[in-house]
Homo-oligomer: A and B are copies of this chain.
């Protein structure tokens, strides 16, 4: 993509309304535009990142055996009356009357609707287990939306729902998602640690929050230093190997990790084995048994003919929130530093002297070569000052910058900068494609 044609409205000044760094950088990097309090339009570069995150979340859900559906944003209030949550939910639920004076709402979550879909179609133990997920926009009418996409009102969430015949089976479904989440976050280039969360009246050990470590995080977290080394993704472990899955789950959940809400110095490791940091919640998984299936009549016939309420769990990932959370975890004073897998472009190509025939030609040639090699490149071909181009390129945080100017061209080279390390080196023009690695 050529910058001269790309809709990438970067800002030089820090927007006053942005209190945290991810919000500031997303606005300055032309990724989003606020359209109402807590509601954002995603501009082309922001949407590219969002879609890359979404794609990785989807792939990992599919690998774990979850099946994708798509439920609508607008739900009938009747379903929520069945579960008893319609009155309980409070003002965060956006309530709507349609033209026929039917009570509707913009879904803040989907337990009721997925249970309704399940009960309409699944009648036999033979059809279990099932795990159905969707990636859809939700709405929570926050009283004070803030922090950009980190606490917006309209937000994109992946929510999965598992259905099992027994608590034992539900535990397996839970463990699959547990592993899947750690693999997902690792692919996104961030370190997320599962922390035991409140299970309410259900009890047990099947509720975890997944928290990304970031200095600017919303809560304090206490984690065993073992988290720095352990292979959370359990490479080679198959989702079908339930015995190994249990072992893995036990191993992981035995390593201490707690938010300040439930941190307990007594059971925590000694301070020399403990990291204290800040974190941002990006996922939450929860086993809730028959809470909705009982209330809404979602049951199946078992082998012996008996009727069984299905055991359910839910599994959320804040997809749009992740865009902000990853920036909180990966940036410097000059801008964003994208993990490679979700960077909006693989590299930025800066023409130091647009209009100079040799520079223009070298840039065009390299731009074409890189694309032919499978790289997605942003070429800054604008008639603008070099300083502005450098600042913009640092701000938008692409993994590599390739700088082409008259001096380097005399030697047949360009400068290649690694955004994360800041390291720069002169590279012969015909070596640049190989320097960037394989695509």
Seen from chain A, the residues whose Cβ lies within 8 Å of a Cβ on chain B are 4-7, 9, 30, 33, 35-37, 39-44, 47, 50, 65, 67-76, 91-92, 94, 96, 98-100, 102, 104, 106, 113, 116-117, 120-122, 126, 130, 132, 137, 139, 141, 143, 153-154
Q: List 24 A-B contacts (CB under 8 A).
A: A6-B67, A33-B117, A33-B120, A36-B72, A36-B102, A41-B70, A41-B72, A42-B70, A43-B69, A43-B117, A44-B68, A44-B132, A47-B68, A47-B69, A50-B70, A72-B154, A73-B73, A73-B137, A74-B94, A74-B139, A74-B153, A98-B141, A99-B141, A99-B143
A74 to B126, CA, bound (A): 41
Check if A36 sits within 8 Å of B94, measured CB to CB.
no
* Pair B71/A41 contact, Cβ less than 8 Å: yes
Q: Which residues of B contact A39 (CB under 8 A)?
A: 72, 74
| CB atoms of B154 and A74 under 8 A apart | yes
Q: Are B35 and A72 in contact (CB under 8 A)?
A: yes
- Least CB distance from A78 to B in Å reads 9
**Could you tell me if A104 and B42 are in contact, using CB atoms closer than 8 angstroms?**
no
Minimum CB–CB distance from A8 to chain B (whole Å) comes to: 9
Q: Which residue of B lies closest to A129 (CB)?
A: B5
Please measure, in the bound complex, the distance between the C-alpha atom of A20 and the C-alpha atom of B332, giving whole angstroms: 58
Alpha-carbon gap, A405 to B50, bound state (A): 47
Cα separation A73 to B42 with both chains bound (whole Å): 12
Give every chain B residue within 8 A of A70 (Cβ-Cβ).
Answer: 41-42, 47, 50
Measured in the bound complex, the distance between the Cα atoms of B30 and A120 in whole Å is 11
Contact A7 B67 (CB under 8 A): yes
With beta carbons under 8 angstroms apart, the residue of B36, B43, B68 that contacts A75 is B36
Q: Is the CB of B117 within 8 A of A69?
A: no
Task: In the A-B complex, list the 8 residue pairs whose CB atoms are closest, starting with the nearest.
Answer: A9-B121, A42-B70, A41-B71, A36-B76, A91-B99, A99-B141, A72-B154, A44-B67
The reply to whether A74 and B33 contact each other, CB–CB distance below 8 Å, is no
Residues of B within 8 A of A30 (CB): 121
Minimum CB–CB distance from A152 to chain B (whole Å) comes to 9
Nearest-neighbour CB distance to chain B for A367, whole angstroms, equals 16
Select which of B47, B65, B137 is within 8 A of A72 by beta carbon: B137
CB-CB < 8 A to A47: which residues of B?
68-70
Q: Which of B4, B91, B96 is close to A94, meaning CB atoms less than 8 Å apart?
A: B96
CA distance A130 to B67 in the complex (A): 38
* A76→B126 CA distance, assembly (Å): 48
Q: Check A44/B73 contact, CB under 8 A, given A33-B117, A120-B33.
A: no
- Smallest Cβ distance from A15 to chain B, in angstroms? 12
Instruction: Provide the bound-state CA to CA distance between A336 and B139, in Å.
Output: 36
**Cβ–Cβ < 8 Å partners of A102 in chain B:** 36
How many Å lie between the Cα of A181 and that of B276 in the bound state? 56
Give Cα A47–Cα B50 distance, bound, in whole angstroms.
20
User: Could you say which residues of chain B place their CB within 8 Å of the CB of A74?
Assistant: 36, 39, 94, 106, 139, 153-154
Question: For residue A7, which residues in chain B have a CB less than 8 angstroms away from its CB?
Answer: 67, 69, 121, 130, 132
Task: Find chain B residues with CB under 8 A from A117 CB.
Answer: 33, 35, 41, 43
Q: In this complex, what residue of B is CB-closest to A75? A: B35
| Chain B, residue nearest A155 (CB) | B72
Closest to A90 in B: B99
How far, in Å, is A340 (CB) from chain B's closest CB?
22
> Apart from A30-B121, A43-B117, what 13 extra A-B contacts exist at CB < 8 Å?
A6-B67, A7-B132, A35-B117, A36-B76, A41-B69, A41-B72, A42-B69, A44-B67, A73-B137, A73-B154, A94-B96, A99-B143, A137-B137
* C-alpha gap A4/B127 in the complex (Å): 7
Taking CB atoms, residues of chain B closer than 8 Å to A43 are 69, 117
A113 contact from B4, B5, B41, B116, Cβ within 8 A: B41
Contacts of A92 in B (CB 8 A): 99
* A73 CA to B153 CA, complexed, in Å: 11
**Contacts of A67 on B, CB cut-off 8 Å?**
6-7, 44
